């Protein structure tokens, strides 16, 4: 990828829109655009100050392509750190393409995916973890993932890593200085202070590493498994949660053969609902595969919603006993997983039957750890709001509320694990009274892994991988 090229790309989505933005960045951006831009004010675009906007026509020779607004950013004061011009044109795909083609004829090259942000990184406008956050920010679909990406883009995470890195670097230099004075047996790096620093770094690293589980779940949506016997109304519940008809609803037991996933945002938190086949002993081969999947999905879920048909268990003692056994099965297999037992189809019950059912469910849930129950009707939506509240309670008690840095990126997670491993070696070395030159080796390794996160240490393959996942124009 050549940095001295001037690149062009559409920054807005492809297709028709009210306005489209064409981005041009690179050493010749202003030089290339200015002659094509006939300003209303008559003043040459090349003469304009940075961060100014101008109305004018884009001309292909004598032909006017469009009336546009041109924004001028002068290096190094731009997103990329380079000379940049943005043209806001009318959003017809034809106009967009005419302008882009014109710019390419005049010397621009089509930008590759993420190339604007890559340039921002290479020009030190942001570090690597901030650049990665830009992609997360574009993809964020709920308040939680938005907040985490925003925090990372602003440099919260980078600063934390950078601070540790600098302190560690300081000690590494002192220790390495000792090596130059080996004969004199001096200690520039105070070992007690160093032990202190190592323990502080361990604490921070452990916190960041632990946050990944939360971060990953919040970024991808909290998985909730909806399970239960066939025909209890799982698909109907999913539909009423989603407010749309996504899963197949039918009154033939066993309709939901495969697992269906859908996402929605509740109170700013993303949830991923997994509608699964019921756990029924069956000889049907296709269905038993579904049941195996059900257990797999329960394993992956953070919360299990177990649905029962209250019109059945209210009148049928055998069915109630079966439900009790099923719940025991789930609890035996996954004792720590929060379980929410939902008695669906309560619209079919009379008031006194409901009271009766409540008592029975209270009894069942009191015998299982981390189990609660809720009466609901997926058909009339009664209790659906309460279900949403209950689901939120499961996460609101977690890490979301504090503004601590949350690690969401598996590349960062891997680097943090490796850094901790090296820091633990440094600690062992200190305790064993290891000589400075040997300590320095492990310290340098830890520093290397910190540098991987922020991008001080990088290579073309890694950068290629990261930025290839961006969209064109970003
Ligand atoms: N039209 C437009 N909208 C956009 C962007 C953009 O590039 N263009 N952005 C891009 O993704 C985001 C905003 N981010 C930006 C970040 C820095 C600068 C910038 O000009 N920075 C200069 C000057 C800062 C200043 O004025 O003090 C600098 O950092 O030196 C511009 C946009 C979202 N909206
Ligand atoms: N009266 C009443 N009927 C309901 C309610 N929820 C679902 N049903 C009906 O129960 C039947 C089965 O619903 P589904 O949502 O397909 O059940 P399921 O659990 O997904 O079934 P499988 O796909 O077979 O596992 C349908 O006829 C629904 O209309 C409810 O709250 N009240």
pLDDT greater than 60 at residue 454 = yes
Residues with CB under 6 A from ligand 2: 230-236, 249-251, 253-256, 277-278, 344-345, 347-348, 377-379
Which residues are part of a known binding site?
A: 23, 86, 125, 231-236, 250-256, 275-278, 474
CA distance 47 to 39: 11
Q: What is the torsional sign of CA 255, 261, 265, 267?
A: positive
Is residue 387's pLDDT more than 70?
yes
Residue with CA at minimum distance from ligand 2 atom 32: 345
What's the whole-model pTM score?
0.75
Cα of 397 from ligand 1 centre, angstroms: 36
Q: What is the mean pLDDT of residues 433-449?
A: 92
Kindly give the number of the ligand 1 atom that is closest to the alpha carbon of 71: 1
Rounded to the nearest whole angstrom, what is the distance from the C-alpha of residue 449 to the centroid of ligand 1?
A: 30
Ligand 2 centroid to Cα of residue 141, in Å, is 30
Give dist(CA 360, CA 262) in Å, integer. 32
Please give the residue that has the higher pLDDT: either 369 or 349.
349
Q: Does ligand 1 come within 6 angstroms of the Cβ of 82? A: no
From the CB of 51, is ligand 1 less than 6 Å away? yes
Residue 403's pLDDT is 58
The response to whether residue 105 sits with its C-beta less than 6 Å from ligand 1 reads no
Q: Of ligand 1's atoms, which has the minimum distance to the CA of residue 134?
A: 11
Q: Which atom of ligand 2 is nearest to the CA of 239?
A: 15
Asked whether 154 lines ligand 1 (CB < 6 A), one says: no
Residue having the nearest C-alpha atom to atom 25 of ligand 2: 230
Annotated binding site for (6S)-5-formyl-5,6,7,8-tetrahydrofolate: 23, 86, 125, 474
pLDDT of 103-154, one tens digit each?
999 999 999 999 999 999 999 999 999 999 999 999 888 888 888 899 999 9
Give the residue whose CA is nearest to atom 30 of ligand 1: 77
pLDDT tens digits along 328-363: 888 888 888 889 999 999 999 999 899 989 998 998
Q: What is residue 377's DSSP assignment?
A: B
Q: 243, 252, 387, 362: which is closest to 307 by C-alpha?
A: 387
pLDDT, residue 219, reads: 78
Q: Which atom of ligand 2 is nearest to the CA of 376?
A: 31
Residue 18 CB contacts under 8 Å (≥ 6 apart), including other chains: 90, 91
How many H helices and E strands in the chain?
16, 13
CA–CA gap between residue 425 and residue 445 (Å, rounded): 10
In this structure, are strands 260-266 and 269-275 parallel, antiparallel, or unpaired?
antiparallel
What separation in Å is there between the alpha carbon of 112 and the centre of ligand 1?
Answer: 19
Domains of the chain listed by start with CATH number: 7-127 (3.30.1360.120), 142-215+406-453 (1.20.120.430), 223-395 (3.40.50.300)
Decide: 78 in ligand 1 pocket, CB within 6 A.
yes
> Cβ contacts of residue 451 below 8 Å, gap of 6+?
165, 457
pLDDT (tens digit per residue) in 200-210: 999 999 999 99
Q: Which atom of ligand 2 is nearest to the CA of 277?
A: 25
pLDDT in tens, 227-263: 877 788 888 887 888 764 444 444 555 544 455 577 7
Residue nearest to atom 1 of ligand 2 (CA): 345
Q: Whose CA is nearest to atom 4 of ligand 1?
A: 79
SS3 335: coil
Could you tell me if 295 and 286 are in contact, meaning their C-beta atoms sit under 8 angstroms apart? no
| Cα 314 to averaged position of ligand 2 atoms, centre (Å) | 16
SS3 content of the chain, % helix, strand, coil (to 5): 50, 20, 30
Answer yes or no: is pLDDT of 25 > 80.
yes
Rounded distance between C-alpha atoms, residue 277 and residue 390, angstroms: 23
Position 288 confidence tier, pLDDT thresholds 50, 70, 90: low
Of 87, 119, 123, 121, the C-alpha closest to 9 is: 87
Pocket test for ligand 2, best of 227, 229, 230, 231 (most atoms within 8 A of CB): 231
Rama region for 408: left / alpha / beta (φ>0; ψ in -120 to 50; rest): alpha
Q: What is the C-alpha separation between 231 and 218, in angstroms, rounded? A: 31
Residue 277: what pLDDT? 63
Which residue has a Cα nearest atom 12 of ligand 2?
Answer: 231
Q: Could you give the dihedral angle defined by the CA atoms of residues 435, 437, 441 and 444, in that order, rounded to the nearest 10 degrees?
A: 110
Between the CA of 392 and the centroid of ligand 2 the distance, in Å, is 24
How many other C-beta atoms lie within 10 A of the C-beta of residue 11? 17
What's the rounded Cα separation, in Å, for the pair 196 and 44?
61
Kindly give the distance from the C-alpha atom of residue 80 to the centroid of ligand 1, in angstroms, as a whole number.
8
**199: Cβ–Cβ under 8 A, 6 or more apart, which residues?**
427
Q: Which residues pair with 270 in a beta bridge?
A: 265
For residue 77 and ligand 1, the question of a CB distance below 6 A is answered with yes
Both structure tokens of 234: 């799982």
């Amino acid at each position: 990828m050549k940095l001295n090229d001037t690149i062009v790309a559409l920054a807005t989505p492809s297709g028709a829109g009210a306005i489209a933005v064409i981005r041009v960045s690179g050493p010749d951006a202003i030089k290339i655009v200015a002659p094509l831009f006939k300003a209303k004010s008559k003043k040459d675009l090349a003469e304009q100050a940075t961060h100014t906007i101008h109305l004018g026509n884009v001309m292909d020779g004598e032909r006017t392509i469009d009336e546009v607004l041109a924004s001028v950013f002068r290096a190094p004061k731009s997103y990329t750190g380079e000379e940049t011009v943005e043209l806001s044109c009318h959003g017809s795909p034809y106009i967009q393409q005419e302008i882009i083609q014109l710019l390419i004829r005049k010397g621009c090259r089509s930008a590759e995916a993420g190339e604007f942000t890559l340039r921002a990184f290479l020009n030190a406008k942001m570090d690597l973890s901030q650049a990665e956050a830009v992609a997360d920010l574009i993809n964020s679909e709920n308040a939680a993932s938005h907040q985490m990406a925003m925090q990372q883009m602003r440099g919260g995470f980078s600063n934390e890593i950078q601070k540790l890195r600098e302190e560690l670097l300081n000690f590494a230099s002192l220790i390495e200085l000792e090596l130059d004075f080996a004969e004199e047996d001096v200690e520039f790096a105070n070992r007690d202070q160093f032990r202190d620093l190592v323990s502080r770094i361990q604490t921070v690293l452990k916190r960041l590493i632990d946050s990944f589980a939360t971060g990953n779940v919040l970024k991808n949506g909290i998985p909730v498994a909806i399970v239960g016997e066939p025909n209890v109304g799982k698909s109907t519940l999913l539909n009423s949660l989603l407010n749309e008809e996504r899963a197949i609803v039918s009154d033939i037991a066993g309709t939901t053969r495969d697992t269906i996933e859908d996402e929605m945002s509740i109170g700013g938190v993303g949830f991923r609902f997994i509608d699964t086949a019921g756990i029924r002993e069956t000889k049907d081969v296709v269905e038993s595969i579904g049941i195996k999947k059900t257990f797999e999905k329960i394993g992956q879920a953070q919360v299990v919603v177990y649905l029962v048909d209250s019109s059945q268990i209210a009148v049928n003692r055998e069915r109630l006993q079966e439900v009790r056994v099923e719940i025991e099965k789930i609890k035996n297999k996954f004792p720590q997983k929060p379980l929410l037992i939902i008695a669906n189809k309560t619209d079919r019950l009379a008031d006194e039957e409901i009271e009766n059912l409540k008592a029975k469910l209270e009894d069942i849930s009191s015998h299982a750890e981390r189990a609660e129950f809720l009466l609901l009707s997926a058909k009339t939506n009664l209790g659906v709001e309460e279900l949403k509240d209950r689901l939120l309670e499961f996460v609101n008690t977690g890490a979301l509320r504090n503004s601590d840095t949350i690690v969401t990126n598996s590349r960062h997670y891997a680097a943090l694990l490796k850094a901790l491993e090296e820091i633990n070696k440094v600690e062992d070395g200190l305790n064993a009274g290891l000589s400075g030159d040997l300590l320095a080796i492990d310290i340098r390794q830890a520093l290397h892994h910190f540098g991987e996160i922020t991008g001080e240490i990088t290579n073309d393959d890694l950068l290629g991988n990261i930025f290839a996942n961006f969209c064109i124009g970003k």
